Structure 1
């Protein structure tokens, strides 16, 4: 054994027990956020024998790599200096294609990337950004994955036993009184007369249910309840990922169009300006729009980039009256205007 190998093993022995040593992608899952995307379910094992699941988007892999590259990548890869290290390569961005197929195709490459990353010198494993990437957050620990295909051992095929049919007459359900067209994949499309089987209450105004083999959310005002949900599910304690709702307004010379956009995101998320703009274009079916928020003096402030989004969220936290909103509603609101309409702004001299 070489002196370098002995030194490396000694450094590894001194690492904390919660340091990640292996990470494997167990599956992918779709998230119906401001922009629908797929994220990777990753099983992490630590030096001390711990094992847990984390959930990360490709964007987070890419940001981690850029961060590490800026700090540790040597100027000359053939002659790395002290506190530098040749990092493994990360699969590049793909801008066009089926999102699920792209995510599936990235699994082998990202598994290789994580294996090589966690095999780098022990001192790099103590990097804060790397440790935070593999750290199990409270959101990670509370989420239950729908499937873990790649961790499931291969088994022999067995005869399938059909379960008895569900008693439809005993299930919570509602009848659609009006047609409803959803604003995204998270929302159901309803036709008058259809029967929706209820799963849980999202908030005071929205329910989640199933119709025509599709599951999603819809406004309660469009249906007549035939059989109500059990009390626990009516209080929003049913299974599945929780929805958070954003109140948004389209301001036009002819009036105000108010919408509630519900997404499978935590209230603490900071969406990107690009994602918000794309979602609002889809919700209101208008392309030439501008995003705005109201400041403490109720003046409209135009949002131009991610920094403005961060400012909007930060200002909303200190705004009075936040206790009046539903618990799963974002504390900030979006005011959408036509790009050419400058009359909505307070421009008094």
Structure 2
């Protein structure tokens, strides 16, 4: 019975669309300065059609995916139920970077087992959307992807070519601090002469009489290596993070203290209540505060939980007449002392 079942599974796999993800590996972690500092997992995804791309996901997105899959598969009949892999649990205390690093092996195992489930599970919209490369993924700043770094080899010194203008070369768009002797440190604006392509993400080159490897995402190709797609290489540019502006103000009897906060988040991002509270405490150097917003009638409304945050975001969509910078959130935070009730029904 095993062989027919295997052949049937292979046949099902062959009929999957080419854009279905079949493997995913964490290539690095990336620190993000959003409403709070947190870490994203930089995930290298490969599709059935051979396409490769990077996506950026927080642990909370893994957790939400897992909960949704449990709910969805549990509600269906036993015929369509599968055993989901175990997701590493939440950690509430400790260094955030260390927590993210320690989660990498378990999350790699989780994704491997998840993408090894029956083909009908891979077609589920929840999984497809989680591994889909969204516009926000494409706008992320380049990373070194150290966990995808290829094995290196010793290279003999290279004699300078007489015709430098004909040599394959690239310009560094960002500083890159090489790790150890095998990686080539770069300064933005430097021209690197290319020696070879190591893999899809790393190149080898020479600058300042040093030879080493470096991530391609940190450079702009001026003249590609022989055999490269020249037009694609030359047009490839570095992409930068998306920054958005949040207007917030501290309301006190002696006056109003307005501030603008820059965060590495898209305007569509809805933060949690705890994220906003932590950021405002840090910004105004005060612990005993309350978060508020003004509704359509101009009344001050206190925010107490995530549902109130969602209501604030929703109500802001109906107040589109006010002109704002294109990168500013349509909602504003008004911070008061937690014990100060005089601010309510008061115009500032």
1:296 paired with 2:293, answer: no
Equivalent residues in 2 for 1:152-231, closer than 5 Å: 152-156=149-153
Look up the match of 2:26.
Answer: 25
Unaligned residue ranges in structure 1 (runs of 5+): 168-236
Preserved CA contact (<8 Å) 1:73 1:87:
no
Preserved CA contact (<8 Å) 1:73 1:84:
yes
C-alpha distance in structure 1 between counterparts of 2:53 and 2:238, whole Å: 24
Q: What does the per-residue CA deviation read over 1:131-178, in whole Å, with 9 as the maximum and x for residues that have no partner?
A: 1100110111232422111112010356868879999xxxxxxxxxxx
Look up the match of 1:325.
Answer: 324
Q: TM-score, normalised by structure 1?
A: 0.72
SS at match of 1:38: strand
C-alpha distance in structure 1 between counterparts of 2:238 and 2:88, whole Å: 38
Look up the match of 2:53.
Answer: 52
What's the CA shift for 1:238? 9.7
What's the CA shift for 1:33? 0.7
Look up the match of 1:108.
Answer: 105
Residue 295 to residue 18, structure 1, CA distance change in 2 (3 Å) = same
Residue 338 to residue 238, structure 1, CA distance change in 2 (3 Å) = farther
Preserved CA contact (<8 Å) 1:74 1:86:
no
Preserved CA contact (<8 Å) 2:40 2:56:
yes
Look up the match of 1:151.
Answer: 148
Q: What does the per-residue CA deviation read over 1:238-276, in whole Å, with 9 as the maximum and x for residues that have no partner?
A: 964232111101111222111111111111110011100
Residue 165 to residue 238, structure 1, CA distance change in 2 (3 Å) = closer
SS at match of 1:2: helix
Look up the match of 2:4.
Answer: 3
Look up the match of 2:171.
Answer: none
SS at match of 1:274: helix
Unaligned residue ranges in structure 2 (runs of 5+): 158-180, 191-236
Q: TM-score, normalised by structure 2?
A: 0.72
C-alpha distance in structure 1 between counterparts of 2:185 and 2:245, whole Å: 38
What's the CA shift for 1:82? 1.1
Preserved CA contact (<8 Å) 2:139 2:240:
no
C-alpha distance in structure 2 between counterparts of 1:162 and 1:128, whole Å: 42
Q: Runs of at least 4 residues of structure 1 off by over 3 A?
A: 157-167, 237-240
Preserved CA contact (<8 Å) 1:246 1:330:
yes
C-alpha distance in structure 2 between counterparts of 1:27 and 1:238, whole Å: 18
SS at match of 2:80: coil
C-alpha distance in structure 1 between counterparts of 2:97 and 2:272, whole Å: 21
How many correspondences in the alignment? 273
Preserved CA contact (<8 Å) 1:248 1:260:
yes
Look up the match of 2:78.
Answer: 81
Equivalent residues in 2 for 1:268-279, closer than 5 Å: 268-279=268-279
SS at match of 1:82: helix
Measured on the aligned residues, the alpha-carbon RMSD in Å equals 2.7
